[in-house]
Amino acid sequence: MGLALLIRCPVREAFGPQIAYALWALPLLRLLLPPLPAGLRQAAATPLSQASETITIMVVGQGATAVAPAVAPLADGAPIAWGPIVGGSLALLWGVGALGFLLWHLTSHTRFCRRLLGTAAHVEEMRGVRVIASDAAPGPLAFGVLRRYVAFPLDFADRYDADERELALEHEIGHHQRGDLIANWIALAVLALHWFNPVAWRAFRAFRADQELANDARVLAGRRRTAGPCPPPATCTPSTI
């Protein structure tokens, strides 16, 4: 995550937003790769452990009596092993936090989708995506993985002209065609595993921003090929999951 955060801006300036967005596959690949074999880890750690070893030489003078180091007597009760207790408590806290994070987002998303569909006033099908108008939509947005939707506010046609509406529709349908909503769920699952890490939260926000920029670039490139230069689809809101 840290590497993608550091190089995303230079990569976007040099190679474009599509390549910068593709950088976010690196944290997922690192998560899916198997850990380093135990033999390699031990071989890498051996020189460090050897370098940290110290050898104590006791010189006993002539006529002196060597005295063995005193050993503290064991206590009556066995000492408490705090390591496993602390480790288990932290693991439990991490698991509860990750599960609670996912459940909260899933519940919030389900309720939001129900509000969108419950107030839908107009439905049409376009390229396998259902386009609806809803009072609950704050702006153009894509949602749904199995049943794919694009939602617009009810007054969207009154506030924007035909070109802006077409750009917004292309942008939101593009999220479905590119698989961005699936990527958002995967990113959310990764964030749940790292819910305690502030770097992960910053990386998630940067990932979503790069996703929007890459989708904008795709839409505008297609429009330039057919209709020449056009303004960016600024009317769009970040896609939901």
* Cα separations in angstroms, 233 against 49, 95, 146, 149, 167: 58, 40, 26, 18, 6
Task: State how beta strands 149-152 and 141-143 pair.
Answer: antiparallel
Alpha helices by DSSP H, the chain: 2-15, 17-22, 25-32, 38-52, 82-118, 156-159, 162-178, 180-193, 198-227
pLDDT value at residue 50 = 55
Q: Where are the domains of the chain?
A: 95-220
Confidence of residue 30 (pLDDT cuts 50, 70, 90): confident
Neighbours of 212 (CB within 10 A): 19
- Is the pLDDT at 63 greater than 60? The verdict is no
Mean pLDDT, range 205-214, rounded to an integer: 97
pLDDT value at residue 28 = 87
The residue ranking higher by pLDDT, 94 or 54, is: 94
Q: Please list, in sequence order, all residues whose beta carbon lies within 8 angstroms of the beta carbon of residue 19, skipping any fewer than 6 positions away.
A: 11, 12
H/E stretch holding 123: strand 120-126
pTM, entire model: 0.76
129, HSE (Cβ side, Cα atoms, 13 Å): 23
- Condensed to tens digits (0 to 9), the pLDDT of residues 135-174 reads 999 999 999 999 999 999 999 989 999 999 999 999 999 9
125, HSE (Cβ side, Cα atoms, 13 Å): 2
| 154 and 172 Cβ atoms separated by less than 8 Å | no
Mean of pLDDT over the chain: 83
Chain-centre distance for alpha carbon 25: 10
Mean pLDDT, range 116-121, rounded to an integer: 92
136, HSE (Cβ side, Cα atoms, 13 Å): 15
pLDDT value at residue 224 = 63
The residue ranking higher by pLDDT, 223 or 41, is: 223
113-116, long-range: CB within 8 Å, 24+ apart, which pairs? 113/143, 113/144, 116/143, 116/149, 116/151
- Is the pLDDT at 65 greater than 90? The verdict is no
Phi, psi of 146 (to 5 degrees): -75, -50
pLDDT value at residue 82 = 83
Nearest-angstrom CA–CA distance, 90 and 101: 16
- Condensed to tens digits (0 to 9), the pLDDT of residues 167-205 reads 999 999 999 999 999 999 999 999 999 999 999 999 999
